[in-house]
Chains A and B, each alone.
Chain A
C-alpha cells in the first residue's frame, strides 16, 4: 500500500535511528551508532548541535567515581556497596536503579577514550590525567571544593580535563560521520504503531516546515525540564529564561513520550540549588560548589550545621541543605542574609574558578570580568529551583539497554529517570545506548505506515498549527509565566495538600480556558506556544505526584509540610510513575529495582 502522508508532511525522512536532541547524549549516541557507517542516523535538534544542550559549555568536565581509573572501585564505598550499585542509588535515596548505576560505573572510562580520539585534551602536557579534588562531608555526598585532606594531600576522584570544546568537537565529528542533522527543528509528537514508536513529527521553528520522521528506533535525549519554575529575583520575561542550566530545555521529550504511554518517574522531586545572586549560576560563580557560604555573623554554614540532620540525610546538594538547616521549620535562610566571599580566595581557588568558568557558559567569564575579577566583594547566595531533579525525574529507563516502557523508544541523559545527571553521565549513557543500538538496529525492520499513522500525523499537524489561526489570542510567554508562577506559589519546596489541590484546579482551568486561545505570529512563536502546552502537562504531573507521595524524601527536593518525615515502611524504594493511557493519565506506585 503506497501512502502519500496526505497533505500533512512538508518533508519525510526515513532513517534507522532517530535521535531527539543533539546534546551530549545525542551526539555521542549518534557517533557510536555510526561507527561502522552501516546505520543511518538522523538528529532532530531544536537549536544547533554545536551550541545546544546543557553541555554547551560543559562544566561537568569530570567523571564521577572515576576512582576506577586508578583503583578498582570508587574510593569512598566498599567493594560490596559498589558491586550492588549503592554508590549511585543510595545517593538518591533509592529512587533510581542500583543496577543502572553499576552499568554506568563500568562504562565511565570509555567516553574519555572517544573524546581523546576527537582531540579533546584529556591529559596534561606530561601525559598524566589530572584529577579534581573533592572533599567528602562525613557520611554525606561529594563536596566540590578545593580543600586538602587532614594530611595536606589533595586527592581527586574526578578527571579534570579541558572540556571547553567537547561539544564543538562532538558536533563536528557527528557531521563528518554522515549523521543527518535537522537543526532548528522541534519535536512535537511521537508516532506509534501497535504500541511501538515508529517515528516522530517535528516543526522547523524558522520556516514552519512540518516534518515527519520514520525510524526503526527513537532515542529521546532532549534534556531536562528547565522551564517549570522561575528565577524569582528577575523581572518578566527575564525570570523565564535565566537559569543555571540550558533554558531551551523545556521538557519536550518527556511530554511527547508521556503522551504515547512511556512511564515518567519521580516527577515530584525538585532540583533545589544555591546560586549567586544576579548571575543565577552555580559552579565556580555560585556559592556552595567552590565557595563557602556564611551568614551575617560570619559563621560558615557548613561548620555550623555539619552535624544537623539535613546536612546528613537531606537533598544531595550540600549547600542547599545548609540553607534549610537546622530544620525545615527554622531555615537559616529565612532569618539571615547568606553570602559567599571570594575576596580572600587563594591562588589555587582563583585558578580553579577561572578554569571552571572557561568550561562553563561564556557568560560567567564576562560577569567576573565586569565585576573586576574573581576576588571581589561578597555576593549574596540564594535558593533557586532550576527545574525538576534531572536524571532522577524523567522517562523511566527500564534496563541497561536504555529502553523505556514503550517498544523501540530509548532514553538517556537528563531527560531520563536513571542514575542522576551530569555531563559525564550524559556522555556515558550516550555511548552505552549508541553501542547497543549499533548492534540491534541491523536486525530490526523499517516500519510501514498505515492509515492509523497517517491519521496521527494529520491530527498532529492540526494541533501544531492551531496557534497560528488565533490572531490576537493569548501570548505563549504570558501563559508560561502564569503556569510557572503556579508552580512557584502552590507547589515549590513547602508542599501541602490544600495548595497542591489548588494548583491542580488552576492548571485545569488554564488548560480549558487559555490553551485553545494560544496565539503565534510566526514559527518562532509557535515554538513557544508548543512549549507551554508541554510545560502545562508536566506541571500537572508534578503537582499530582507531589500530592500522591505522602511523605518527605530527599528533603528539600520533596518536602510535604503535612508529612514532614520520610516513611520508609511505605515509601522506601518506591517510585511514582505516570503515563498516558488512551489519552487519560494513569499513575502507578512501583518498586524500583
Chain B
C-alpha cells in the first residue's frame, strides 16, 4: 500500500471524540471508529489541505501536515512543520 505522509493527524491525547472533523471534511478523508467513538483517517491521500478539520477542532487535536513538495517549494522548513 502506498504510504502517504501528509494530510490530517489526530493527537489522541486531546481528541474528545466530538466528531467535528469527521462531519465537516469536504473530501471525506475521515472515517469513524464506532468502538472507540473516535475519528480515523481513512483516505489521507485524498486530502485537499483545506484545513477545515483543523480550524473546526475545538480541542486543537487535529493538525494538517503538508506534503514535502509544498513545504520545500513554498519556503517552509520541514522541521518546523510539526506542532
Q: Given A234-B67, A278-B69, A278-B71, is A366 in contact with B51 using a C-beta cutoff of 8 Å?
A: yes
- Known contacts A52-B26, A363-B64; A237/B74 CB under 8 A: no
Partner of A51, one of B2, B26, B42, B73: B26
Complex: chain A residue closest to B81, CB-CB: A370
Q: Report if A395 contacts B (CB, 8 A).
A: no
Residue A30 CB within 8 A of the other chain: no
Residues of chain B with a CB closer than 8 A to A278's CB = 69-76
Nearest B residue (CB) for A184: B28
Q: Mark B7-31, 1 if CB is under 8 A from A, else 0.
A: 0000000000000000111111000
Nearest CB of chain B from residue A480's CB, rounded to whole Å: 11
Shortest CB-to-CB span from B41 to chain A, Å, is: 13
Mask for A111-149, Cβ within 8 A of B = 1, else 0? Answer: 000000000000000000000000000000000000000
Please tell me which one of the listed residues A50, A206, A362 contacts residue B55 in the complex, with CB atoms under 8 A apart.
A362
Shortest distance between the CB of A448 and any CB in chain B (Å): 35
**Cβ–Cβ contact A371 & B50, under 8 A:** no
Q: Which residues from chain A contact B51 at a C-beta distance below 8 Å? A: 361-363, 366
Chain A: how many interface residues by the 8 Å CB criterion? 44
Neighbouring A residues of B28 by C-beta, 8 Å: 47, 184, 205-206, 524, 527
The answer on a CB contact under 8 Å between B70 and A247 is no
Q: Which residue of A lies closest to B69 (CB)?
A: A234
Chain A, range 484-519, C-beta contacts under 8 Å to B: none
Among A48, A238, A279, find the residue whose CB has the most chain B CB atoms closer than 10 A: A238
Chain B CB within 8 A of A241 CB:
yes
Does A248 have its Cβ within 8 Å of any Cβ on chain B? yes
| Binary per-residue interface labels of chain A (233-258) against chain B in the complex, 1 for a CB within 8 Å, 0 otherwise | 11111101111001110000000000
Chain A residues near B27 (CB, 8 Å)? 47, 241, 247-248
With A241-B47, A242-B49 known to touch, is A233 a contact of B69 (CB < 8 Å)?
yes
Judged by a CB distance under 8 angstroms, whether A426 is at the interface is: no
A241 / chain B contacts, CB cutoff of 8 Å = 27, 45-48
B26 touches A363 (CB 8 A): no
Q: How far is the CA of A50 from the CA of B43 in the complex (A)?
A: 21
From B23, B25, B76, A371 is in contact (CB under 8 Å) with B76
- Which chain B residue has the least Cβ–Cβ distance from A372? B75
- Interface presence of A367 (CB below 8 A): yes
Whole-angstrom CA separation of A363 from B75 in the bound complex: 15
| Least CB separation from B45: chain A residue | A237
- CB-nearest residue of chain B to A370: B76
| A56 beta carbon closer than 8 Å to chain B | yes
Q: In the complex, what's the smallest C-beta–C-beta distance from A589 to chain B, in angstroms? A: 37
Which residue in chain A gives the minimum CB-CB distance to B71? A278
- Given contacts A205-B28, A367-B76, A379-B74, whether A48 and B23 have CB atoms under 8 Å apart is yes
A-chain residues with CB within 8 Å of residue B24 when the two chains form the complex: 48, 50-51
A368 nearest CB neighbor, chain B only: B74
Chain B residues whose C-beta falls within 8 Å of the C-beta of A377 in the assembled complex: 75
Question: B28-59: which residues lie under 8 A (CB-CB) from chain A?
Answer: 28, 42-43, 45-52, 54-55
Tell me, in angstroms, the Cα distance from A528 to B45 when the chains sit together: 13
- Across-interface contacts of B80 in A (CB, < 8 A): 370
Q: Which residues of B contact A47 (CB under 8 A)?
A: 25-28
Give chain B residues whose Cβ lies under 8 Å from the Cβ of A247: 27, 48
Q: How far is the CB of A388 from chain B (nearest CB, A)?
A: 18
Please tell me if A380 contacts chain B, counting CB pairs below 8 Å. yes
Q: Judge whether B43 and A524 touch: CB under 8 Å.
A: yes
The reply to whether B75 and A56 contact each other, CB–CB distance below 8 Å, is no
Bound complex: CA A236 to CA B46 (Å): 10
A170 to chain B, nearest CB (A): 15
Which residue on A lies nearest to B32, using beta carbons? Answer: A206
Question: A574–B26 Cα gap in the complex (Å)?
Answer: 37
10 CB < 8 A contacts A-B? A48-B24, A51-B25, A233-B73, A237-B2, A237-B4, A238-B69, A246-B26, A278-B74, A362-B50, A362-B52
**Those 9 A-B pairs whose CB atoms lie nearest each other, nearest first:** A278-B73, A278-B74, A362-B51, A277-B73, A237-B45, A247-B48, A278-B70, A47-B26, A370-B76
Where the two chains meet, the residues of A that have a C-beta atom closer than 8 Å to any C-beta of B are 47-48, 50-52, 56-57, 184, 205-206, 233-238, 240-243, 246-248, 276-280, 361-363, 366-367, 370-372, 376-377, 379-380, 477, 524, 527-528
In the complex, given contacts A277-B74, A379-B74, what are 13 additional A-B residue pairs having Cβ atoms less than 8 angstroms apart? A47-B27, A48-B26, A51-B26, A56-B50, A234-B70, A238-B45, A361-B49, A362-B51, A363-B51, A366-B54, A367-B66, A367-B70, A367-B74
